[in-house]
Amino acid sequence: MQKRKIGSLNVTTAGLGCNNFGWRIDAAATQAVVDAAIDAGINFFDTADMYDTGHSEEYLGRALGARRKDVIVATKFGLKMAEGKEGARPEYIRQAVEDSLSRLGTDYIDLYQLHRPDPNVPIADTLGALDELVKAGKVREIGASNFTAAQISEAEAAAEAAVPKGAARFVSVQNNYSMLHREPEAEVIPECQRLGIALLPYFPLANGLLTGKYRSGQPMPKGSRGDAGWGPKVFTDENLELAGKFAAFAESRGHTLLELAFAWLLAQPTVASVIAGATKPEQVKANAAAVTWQLSQADLQSVG
C-alpha cells in the first residue's frame, strides 16, 4: 500500500478510524479489526481520548501489543472527558497526554491532535505545551481538527513567532470531508496547500452513505446508521440521489461506490490518508482494497 507524509510520519493511504472501539464493538471484536488492518497493510490508526471515554484507546493499545512500534498511532484531546477535563489549557494538555499514554500502553504518541479549537486559550499557549511534549519525546508530531482556514493560519503564525525557533507546528488538520461534504475545498485545502499541511478527512464515507448499501427510494437497511436516524443532514433525498449517480459511475468502471469515495479523496490536494472506521474485518479489507484505484483527470471531471 502506498504511503504519504504527515510531517515526518509515513502513513498508509488507508487508515483505520477507531471511533467504534468500545461503544460499538468490544475488546475481542476490536482485536479482530486491528489484526485485519495490519494484515491488509494498514499502518495508521486514529483514535481520541473521548471515544467511549477512553475505551477506544485502551482497546487499541491492547490489540496492538508488541506491534505498537510498527504502526502510526494518532489520538486527540480537548473534548470533554469529565468535569474540568477538557480544552487546550497547557496544564490540562500535560494531564491529557499522560492519560492517553497510559490507556494506549505506550510511551509516545505519533500524532497528537487538538480535537477542536478552544476559544478560551491563546493558540500560542496550546502550541507551547505541545512543543514541550515533542521535545520530551512523548509526541512525535502535532495536528488539529475542526479548524477553519483562519485558525490554521493563526496557529502557523504563532508557531513561526515562537522563541526559540523550530517549535512544533501543526502538520495535519482533520476535518469533515467527503464527496458529499466539500466545504474544505473553499478555504481549508488552499491554506493546507500553502503551508504544506496534510488533510485527514473524517466522515469520508458520509456516515456510511457512500458505502453503497443505501439506495434512493428504498428503505434504510435494518440496523444501519440511516435506519437509526444518524446524520439526518446526510441521509437526504438529494444526497441519496447523488450517491446513486456516483455508484453508477463507479460500477460503469468496474468499481464500487466505496472504492470511488476513497479514490476521489486521495485524488484531492493535501489528503494524506482516508481513515474510515470499521466494526468487522471484512470492512477493513474492503477499505484497504479501495485505495488501489487511481482516478484520471477525466474521471474526476466526470464525477464533478
Which ranges of 123-275 would DSSP assign to H, the alpha helix? Answer: 123-135, 149-161, 188-195, 237-252, 257-266
Q: Is residue 217 part of a domain?
A: no
- Domain range spanning residue 70? 3-208+257-296
Residues of the chain with pLDDT under 50: 227
Using the Cα atoms of residue 123, residue 124, residue 125 and residue 131 in order, give the sign of their dihedral: positive
The shares of helix, strand and coil residues in the chain, as percent rounded to the nearest 5, are 45, 20, 35
Question: Domain for residue 235, yes or no?
Answer: no
- Please give the grid coordinates belonging to residue 148: 477553519
Residue at 84 is within a domain: yes
Active site residues: 51
Residue 114 lies in a domain: yes
pLDDT tens, residue by residue, 85-99 = 999 999 999 999 999
CA-closest candidate to residue 243, choices 258, 262, 224, 225: 258
| Structural domain count, the chain | 1
Q: Is residue 152 part of a domain?
A: yes
Pairing of the two strands 3-6 and 9-12: antiparallel
Q: In Å, how far from its chain's centre is CA 114?
A: 12
Q: What was the pLDDT predicted at 218?
A: 60
User: What is the domain-level CATH number for residue 201?
Assistant: 3.20.20.100
Q: How confident is the model at residue 261, as a pLDDT?
A: 98
- Confirm whether 44 is domain-assigned: yes
Dump pLDDT digits (tens) for 6-60: 999 999 999 999 999 999 999 999 999 999 999 999 999 999 999 999 999 999 9
pLDDT of residue 223: 56
Asked, for residue 246, whether it belongs to a domain, the answer is no
Residue 225 forms part of a structural domain = no
In this predicted structure, what is the pLDDT of residue 212?
A: 80
